Structure 1
Amino acid sequence: MSRVQGPSSLKRKRPELNSPVQSLTEHERILYDVIRSKQDIGIWTRDMKKEAKLPDNVVNKSLKALRVKNLIKEVVNIQNKGRKHFMATEFEPSKEISGGAWYLEGSLDTEFIESLRQLCKRQIEKKGVATLEEVTDLINSYPAFNVDVTKQQIEEILRTLILDNAIMEVKSNGMGEFASIPFGKVCYRYISKAALGGEPKAGALASIPCGVCPRISHCTPDGIISPKTCVYYQKWLDF
């Protein structure tokens, strides 16, 4: 996998000499200024036309010219995939538009998520017990996984593994297997298959998963993320 993750905050490109901006027509300049002013949020074509106050045929012609000059790009808005959404090429879509690190070109990147889940699980299994920082460092140093991930991303992945009963969240007591981890530090322990045959472990599906879901703020009854499509919620119902 070669997908590279990074912060979804604004990414500004260095201005180039002899920029095509200098050769814009009056209408192209008006439209470009409207689109560029929206920064990493971008703008829907209908809103663009209202704000630019230009006829449809002029807008369409100007959009085509701006795309040819590589000054704007069409992006997928996960909230409204059917709408044409444009953004200046110097910006990267915000999380509200792109869906964040777990989305690729407007779709949930399940392959990336599952690869990261399996790698995190293997790293914790090897160590027995590991902190969030240790897992993050191990993932970022893994030669076969050419992706730069953040602690927040890894924490979200670890929470899904907790819900799947693959690992459990514990606190270090500073002794034994926790000797290298400061007392009271939150860490994660691998749950072996043999252990699953006994009493349910802390961190398993013992409470409603919504309480620890990192996407709860985006969850709506009929949205892209919803109780109807949530596999963890269904597992909790069947537990």
Structure 2
Amino acid sequence: MNNEHLNKVLVENYSKLEKQEAKKLYQFIVQSKSKGVSQQAADELMQKYGITNTQTNALLKNLMARQFIQMVSNQQKKMYYMTELAPKALNLPPWFTNGHFDDQYATNLMNLVKQTIQVARQVVVNLDYITNVVRNNPQLTSKLNEDDVKTLVNALVADGSVIEFESLQHNCKCYLVPQQQGVFGPYFQGGYYKTVPCGKCQLIGLCESGSGIESKTCVYIQQWLKGE
């Protein structure tokens, strides 16, 4: 891939990032070229800007979900690369053609995932459910595995099109489409969950088990479950 094309991709992706910290991290990874950036190097860079390791991890997940970067595990060491410069041995998801990101196909797949979440009724809408429904869709032209579906779901969560929350009743992560776009799914009939705290939480992107910001210790969710 020539430098002209790389610069074009960089400028286009860079313009789509709203947060300055995300721009700094993405630029750092791009500048590493084929050498890649380790988790430690990413953490150390962002610490200079007052960003915690947990926040850096969330930024990396966001960039990966949007397919701006790729992560490769090498001897238990995580390395991050600009997608276009990732090692050729990397197994790219089905929405890549000849090593290039197919934006239209990826968009179609994300719409399929979002629709699957939106129309689900009286079921536990977790990753297993979404994967089973999407993989059995007769219109699907490529084979998706669970990791592929998870990447698509993460992209929707990062974009704010889908909300991820920890279901205390089912002990798993579940998903829903925000109320303004129509809420369906497990126990969401009648708009009962339209006041779910996660939908308004500014830390939703950092909320995950073991991160220090998680639903089981969230005061707002506990109050909400008690009807307060």
TM-score (normalised: structure 2): 0.41
| Structure with greater Cα Rg | 1
Higher helix share: 2
